[in-house]
Amino acid sequence: MRIRLAALTLLVFGLPASAEDVRADDWKTRGATFEKRTAWAEACRCYEDVLRKERGNVIAREGYRRSLRRLHLATRQADATYRQSLTKLTPPQALEIYEQVLSILRVAYPDRARINLQLLFQNGLQEMQFALDDPLFRRHQLPGVKPELIEAYKKRLDTWSAHITTLSGAREEALLVIRSAAEEKIKLTPSLVSALTLEFAAGACNTLDEFSSFLTPGSMSTVQAALKGKLLGVGVELGVVADRLTVTRVYPKSPAAQAGFLKGDLVLEIAGVNVQNLPADVAAERLRGDRGSAVEITIGRADAKKSFRLSRRSFPVSSVEYHQLPLDSVMNGGYLRIHHFQDSTFQEVKDALAAMNTGDPIKGLILDLRGNPGGVFKSAVAIAELFLGEGIIVVGQSTFKDFNRTYKADNPTASQIPAVVLVDGETASAAEVLAGALKESRAAFSTMLLGQTTFGKGSIQVIIPMDKSPLEKLAGIRLTVARFLSPSNSPVTGRGIVPTISSDAEGAALLDEAQGELLKLINAVMRPPRMMGGAS
């Protein structure tokens, strides 16, 4: 089949950072507790915290993948737009979508060993079994069905055996699996058949790697809006801190920011429902809604309760912050932080550099990529070229020629001021592209990396929209289509980018360290060349 590459948007987002660090001695207990509570987002963050420090921790990796898969499932079932689309989707249409998903994976996914049809089918079958355990799936798709009938159906599936070699064979076998529910006296409505069929499709996507997944309409719209620098909602992120549901981020210019919400506020009620014991991802779903609709949120602050009624709307999200900073009594430097990469980030960075160079030009730059999970790949490449006159930015490896190439800079007007780049274990994906390019291809221009080894993602994802009605343009697949290497052809996946100087300092202490290193770079550039021979 032919995939519409022109319609793809390059994307590399991961989970948000944890709301609290997990101590080395209790992460297994906390992770298991979160899983038992079906708090999948918190479980993911718990395991992810460990993996930032211990990349080879097999138990944490398995816990993360297990929890992430269940998080995708819970998010899918909570998506009201997705559930509504299932009522319009006929079983034949759902089977066509399943076959289309398998076709896309076989054409586009770079690891050929993972796209064996037999394996993809088995992963889908397992996903369907997980769905049968999910409370939201049971409530919406199996209302009134006795639990013992569902358990009997699950036992039947445990022993299901099939040999799949063709797309049509996978499609026919999936239908047989679903129809066998009738033998356990489960009534098969068209909506239930469609829902179970799409679980086969989701399972095929969600088990390829940690970054590929099936996107429902709600997830699809959120991703597309984020790439354009806009979000729809009230403007807060939620997390669990000290076992309390807490506001972990308030977006500037959002309804929540304008109402006075603060990071650290306890979230007590949403729409009149007590949410203190809900997982963060489940509570966050209650904040979603249509543009213009309102939601009431009750927060706790300093032993007092306060309620707000917020209207959901779109608000801009800037990916960059910047300011000048004095390096000594006569020189100014610049501080530029990129939070993530979206479509507008390249222009935001250009505007920031121009603003910092108004009047007395800056003599050096601190580029902060800490906590940057990635984003739009092409934006990272374009920003790298702002600083590279020439040289390799990144090396792509893919089955698609668009990505299977070496990206090079050719910019005679590139900025060549000395730069210190701050990185940490949460610097990932597109941010690693930029960090690697600046470290390896810009060494001659006095650039160094300071901090901790980066996350080590090393892959590129694209968004592939479904083209089967009625999910056309509503749902899609976020799929890994390429791996990337640093300019020196060093693998990034699982290894990350190693900083020039390692430092465990944080906050103001790290910035002081960065300013000191930047001054050294500036002075080295400004120092006059040493005379050779017998000159006097």
Domains and CATH numbers, the chain: 5-214 (no CATH), 230-316 (2.30.42.10), 320-525 (3.90.226.10)
Rounded Cα gap, residues 283 and 42, in angstroms: 12
> Exposure pattern of 195-225 as b/e (b: 16+ CB <10 Å)?
bbbbbbbbbbbbbbbbbbbbbbbbbbebbbb
Tokens, residue 53? 């420090």
Non-local CB neighbours of 441 within 8 Å, separated by 6+ positions: 384, 388, 391, 392, 393, 409, 487
> Are 440 and 486 within 8 A, CB to CB?
yes
And the tokens for 361?
């030009």
**Which residues touch 465 (CB under 8 Å, ≥6 apart)?**
7, 220, 472, 473, 475, 476
SS3 507: helix
The pTM is what? 0.83
User: Does residue 137 contact residue 131 with C-beta atoms inside 8 Å?
Assistant: yes
Give the burial class of 397: count Cβ atoms within 10 A of its Cβ; 0-12 exposed, 13-18 middle, 19 or more buried: middle
How many angstroms separate the CA atoms of 525 and 520, rounded? 9
From first to last of the 536 residues of the chain, give the pLDDT tens digit: 555 443 334 444 333 344 444 455 589 999 999 999 898 988 998 998 888 778 889 999 999 999 999 999 998 998 888 888 888 899 999 999 999 999 999 999 999 899 999 999 999 999 999 999 999 999 999 999 999 999 999 999 999 999 999 999 999 999 999 999 999 999 999 999 999 999 999 999 999 999 999 998 878 887 888 788 888 899 998 988 888 899 988 999 999 999 999 999 999 999 999 998 888 878 888 898 888 999 999 999 887 899 999 999 999 889 999 999 988 878 899 999 999 999 999 999 999 999 999 888 999 999 999 999 999 999 999 999 999 988 999 999 998 888 999 999 999 988 889 999 999 998 999 999 999 999 998 765 689 999 999 999 999 998 888 876 666 656 889 999 999 999 999 999 889 999 999 999 998 999 999 999 999 999 887 765 555 444 33
Sort 360 into a burial class: Cβ within 10 Å, 0-12 / 13-18 / 19+: exposed
CA 525 to chain CA centroid, Å, is 38
Query: Do 503 and 451 contact (CB within 8 A), yes or no?
Result: yes
- Token pair of 65 as six digits: 């993948």
- Residue 310 phi/psi, 5° resolution? -115, 140
Q: Which of 349, 399, 398 is nearest to 369 (CA)?
A: 349
- pLDDT, position 536: 30
DSSP string, 386-435: HH-SEEEEEEEEESSTTTSSEEEEE-TT-----EEEEE-TT--THHHHHH
Token readout for 117 is 């049809």
Tell me the one-letter amino acid at 454: T
Tally DSSP H helices, then E strands, for the chain.
17, 20
User: Where does residue 308 rank: exposed (0-12), middle (13-18), buried (19+ CB within 10 A)?
Assistant: middle
Nearest-angstrom CA–CA distance, 313 and 234: 7
Classified as helix, coil or strand, 18 is: coil
> Which residues are paired to 447 by β-bridges?
419
- Answer whether 450's CB lies under 8 Å from 421's CB: yes
196 is written with which tokens? 């179970």
Q: How many CA atoms lie within 13 A of 233 on its CB side?
A: 21
Closest listed residue to residue 153, CA positions, set 138, 169, 139: 138
User: Which sign does the torsion angle of CA 22, 505, 350, 252 carry?
Assistant: positive
Contact 170, 164 (CB under 8 A): yes
State the pLDDT at residue 533: 46
User: Distance from first CA to last CA of the chain, Å, rounded?
Assistant: 74
Bridge partners, 406 (sequence order): 395
DSSP 8-state secondary structure symbol assigned to residue 491: B
- The helix or strand, by DSSP H or E, that contains position 54, with its residue range, turns out to be none
Give the residue among 496, 513, 372, 439 at the shortest CA–CA distance from 53: 496
Q: Which helix (H) or strand (E) covers residue 478, if one does? A: strand 476-485
